[in-house]
Amino acid sequence: MDARGHGKSDKPHDPEAYTMKNRAGDVIAVLNELGIDSTHFFGYSYGGRVTFELAIHFPERVKSLIAAGIGARGQNPDFLGDRIRILEAGPEALVAAFEQTGSLTPDMKTRLLVNDCEALVSILRTPWPYRENDLPVMNRPFLLLAGEFDPGFSAIEKASKRLPDSTFIFLPGLDHMQTASRINVVLPHVKEFLARVS
């Protein structure tokens, strides 16, 4: 599914539209529409942050959760301020910022250029609940994946130690964007985890 603010989904410009309650509710709405009682859920980056909301609010709807590129803490105000300034400068500035942190595939560059930057700014202006203290009661199996050079690496590793049932995978040499594009590196870990928890 395309998360709200992305892809073919609606892109409201009101930050209130992007609360974590709404984002987790979108997943449940899709499951309801498809007639799926419970499922394994995989979220990357901001979508990975939604996994923690599903675990705390809708545990009966998830069999297991996979979060890549993000932990359970709140936002970093310094990072957000920088990212908002980049987005306000437009899609080309967003591409340039990502190119400074690592290589972009042509497909990733195309996806970045068609973003609605105003919607993305609204997403960043929506507070995230701090969930690190809730981790010990999230009782579904978790797989957490973190690239060695991901800015959120320490928060991801920390979350893995506080969850009751978690597997942590260290991805050497990868940054945040590379973790999204190196399917050949990520997919074997996902398959192994799903085979075990299924």
pLDDT tens readout for residues 136-167 = 999 999 999 999 999 889 999 999 999 999 99
Question: What structural domains and CATH numbers belong to the chain?
Answer: 39-73+130-198 (3.40.50.1820)
What residues contact 156, with CB distance under 8 A and at least 6 apart? 67, 69, 70, 71, 144, 145, 146, 150, 168
Handedness of CA 92, 93, 98, 100 (dihedral sign): positive
pTM above the 0.85 mark?
A: yes
User: pLDDT value at position 37?
Assistant: 98
pLDDT value at position 121? 95
Q: Which of 55, 80, 61 is nearest to 166 (CA)?
A: 55
Q: What is the pLDDT of residues 8-51, one digit of tens each?
A: 999 999 999 999 999 999 999 999 999 999 999 999 998 999 99
Q: Of all helices (H) and strands (E), which one includes residue 186?
A: helix 183-197
